[in-house]
A and B are shown apart, each in its own frame.
Chain A
Amino acid sequence: MNEASKGVGSVVYEARGLKKNYDGGQVAALRGVDFDIREGEFVAIVGPSGCGKSTLLQMLGSLDKPSEGSLSYRGRLISDLEDPSDYRSAEIGFIFQSFHLLPTFTVSENVQIPMFETGLSRGEREVRAHELLESVGLAHRLKHFPSELSGGERQRVAIARSLANRPSVLLADEPTGNLDSENAAHVVELLLKLHRELGMTMVLVTHDLGIAALATRTIRMKDGRVVDETTPLTHAS
């Protein structure tokens, strides 16, 4: 996507009647979800466990397909994408609750993994990984393996990895869920900084209403449906 096509405040995601069923329709994870997410927004999706918020996030990242309804990215149906991996590689950065780092690769190598699809040279990949890890305060941990890091450090590596291909959207699934309060605060601070400085569109799934309060908009879900959307006072204009 080129910069001109994005426009300020243009619609990035548009979901209409989004449903997701599992086990041949026995289990309904999403029961008809409608929303828009605009360029540069920081949207928090909150709700109790099992309400469908992680399923929704996976659909935004094209990791899963809706059973019914439509979901488009910048006006194009995600289900129509010829190769969703191009979309994931170029447009999306993922951050997961359990970090999902590759245990047999060093911190630097984990950050380089997404770059294989970009055509960057080996040297360019290494330099970019170094820069990203420096930006998350882990330049001294390049050669360490994930098992040698604390939870907070692992999540910072995952954040650096999510930025590897300079995506325009960051999708975070409970990024502080496995962290103590101090590390959680650091990670949130880092995400806010990214949003503020890079102007990235950010969608964050969380249980933590304190973190949700920092978002520009909160979508509250229950039983596979959006029950309300609010703009916190801090962001209300």
Chain B
Amino acid sequence: MTFFTVVVRGLIRRPVRTGLTLLGISIGIGAVVTLVGMSWGYEKSIGKQLDVIGIDVVVSNMSGGLMPKVFDDTLQDKVAALPKVADTTTVLMLMLSIEDAPMMMVSGREWGGFTWEKLEVLEGRLPKDDKEFAVVLGKLAAEVLKKKVGDTVQIEADELPVVGIVDGHAVVENGAVILSLSVLQEISSNQGKVNFIDVRVPEGTSEKEVVELCETVNGMFPEGRAKLASEVVGTSQGYRLARAMSWSTSLLAIIVGVLGVMNTMLMTVFERTHEIGILLAVGWKRRRILYMVLCESALLGFLGGVTGVGLGALGLKILEYTPAIRGLLEPDLSPKLLLTSVAIAVVVGVVSGLYPGWRSSRLSPSRALNL
């Protein structure tokens, strides 16, 4: 028999209660995994999109909601004239309700810009020119909207034919409705407006030089921000709000978890007062009693964490396929998130066991034995 055996016996003596507590922690940790996984997934998905297209710097005004505010597309020429800029292209990106889909990314791209380069045509074709009133659908967007080449898609008040289905090699690209910039500007009444200037720098440009470029652009465009592609999502207020909400909801779930485990451990300690008296009588040190209770609660947390990670992963998979989310983001199920969640669960367990453990270690052996 090892000390671990003693700890496990403490938990399995009341299997139903232990099981219910585990379920409580699992749901809490499942919520953490799901919410944070969505938040991190959004960041990762945008990051991957920028990476696939080959964008080094994004110029935008991120002070708005989930999508940045629009600004005059004349800024593009000024940015393009700067040293250490190899190429630029403008994008008007809008989040719109398209037919039955509650929210989709609609991406109007400057005709001939490098944002069209990586789109692989699976069916049909790309628009013929920047004047053609037509869209291509990312392959996930086509699935969500249940459209094929030859169908039409209603955007705002206009019906546009689908001329192609494309693979953009990133979830956000594949979940988008893509059309020429001038067409989207016209149908959304945003003539001459864009909300992104995507910038490529020459190969071999150092990060320091890219940062300097960003600072120069910021001087020209005080209300906007030029950001390294890797930092662009974190500066979005909408994203920061979503991240804060996911963590605060997770915190609530964690607090509920702490209370649940603490309640269980207090009940356990209360029920086992006599047993703890015996352990003290046969020479167990008070700190060993405390350690035993802490190990029990930590083990509860760990098991709840592992189960919760499973639940959370399942939740993320389900969410990934819901129409409202599909194509907008790829949930993050990274080892970092899973390990963080289990670590949170273990900390929840240990913190919850502190008070019950302290109480049990303070028991008077003679009184405990006489109960």
Contacts and interface: CB of A to CB of B under 8 A. Distances in A.
Interface of A: 58, 61, 63-64, 83, 85-86, 88-90, 92, 94, 96, 100-102, 104-105, 108-109, 112-114, 116-117, 122, 125-126, 161, 164-165
Interface residues of B, number: 24
Contact of B284 (A90, A116, A122, A126): A116
Given A58-B366, A100-B278, A113-B279, A122 B1 contact: yes
Given A102-B275, A104-B9, A113 B366 contact: no
B366 A64 contact: yes
B147 interface: no
B364 interface: yes
Main secondary structure of the interface of B (DSSP, over half): helix
B281 A90 contact: no
A125 B2 CA distance: 10
Contacts of B284: 85, 89, 113-114, 116-117
B1 A100 contact: no
By Cβ-Cβ distance, the 5 closest A-B pairs, closest first, are A89-B283, A114-B282, A64-B366, A88-B283, A63-B366
Given A109-B1, A116-B3, A122-B2, A85 B369 contact: no
29 contacts: A58-B366, A61-B281, A63-B365, A63-B369, A83-B285, A85-B285, A85-B286, A86-B285, A88-B280, A88-B281, A89-B284, A89-B285, A90-B283, A94-B281, A100-B281, A104-B9, A104-B12, A105-B1, A105-B6, A109-B5, A113-B279, A116-B3, A116-B284, A116-B288, A117-B288, A125-B1, A126-B1, A161-B282, A164-B282
B13 interface: yes
Interface in B265-323: 274-275, 278-286, 288
Nearest to B282: A114
Given A100-B274, A105-B1, A117-B288, 14 more contacts: A61-B281, A63-B281, A63-B365, A63-B366, A83-B285, A86-B283, A88-B282, A88-B283, A94-B281, A96-B369, A104-B9, A113-B6, A117-B284, A117-B285
B369 A100 contact: yes
Contacts of B285: 83, 85-86, 89, 117
B283 A165 contact: yes
Contacts of B13: 104
Interface in B156-211: none
Interface of B: 1-3, 5-6, 9, 12-13, 274-275, 278-286, 288, 364-366, 369
Given A104-B9, A116-B3, A85 B283 contact: yes
Contact of B282 (A104, A108, A113): A113
Candidate in A64, A96, A102, A117 with the most chain B CB atoms within 10 angstroms: A102
A117 B289 CA distance: 12
Contacts of A126: 1
A53 to B, nearest CB: 14
Candidate in B1, B288, B365 with the most chain A CB atoms within 10 angstroms: B1
A64 B288 contact: no
Nearest to B2: A122
Contacts of A83: 285
B1 A108 contact: yes
Contacts of A86: 283, 285
Contact of A112 (B1, B286, B366): B1
Candidate in B2, B12, B282, B284 with the most chain A CB atoms within 10 angstroms: B282
B9 to A, nearest CB: 5
A111 to B, nearest CB: 10
A117 B285 CA distance: 8
A89 B283 CA distance: 4
A102 B278 contact: yes
B361 to A, nearest CB: 11
B368 to A, nearest CB: 9
Candidate in B9, B278, B281, B285 with the most chain A CB atoms within 10 angstroms: B281
Candidate in A89, A100, A164 with the most chain B CB atoms within 10 angstroms: A100
Contacts of B286: 85
A105 B10 CA distance: 10
Contacts of B366: 58, 63-64
Nearest to A55: B366
Nearest to B365: A63
A155 to B, nearest CB: 15
B282 A89 contact: yes
Nearest to A122: B2
A126 B5 CA distance: 14
A85 to B, nearest CB: 4
A234 B193 CA distance: 113
A139 B314 CA distance: 51
Contacts of A89: 282-285
A10 to B, nearest CB: 23
Contacts of B9: 104-105
Contacts of B2: 122
A92 B284 CA distance: 12
Nearest to A112: B1
Contacts of B279: 113
A96 B366 CA distance: 12
A161 B282 CA distance: 8
Contacts of B1: 105, 108-109, 112, 122, 125-126
B37 to A, nearest CB: 39
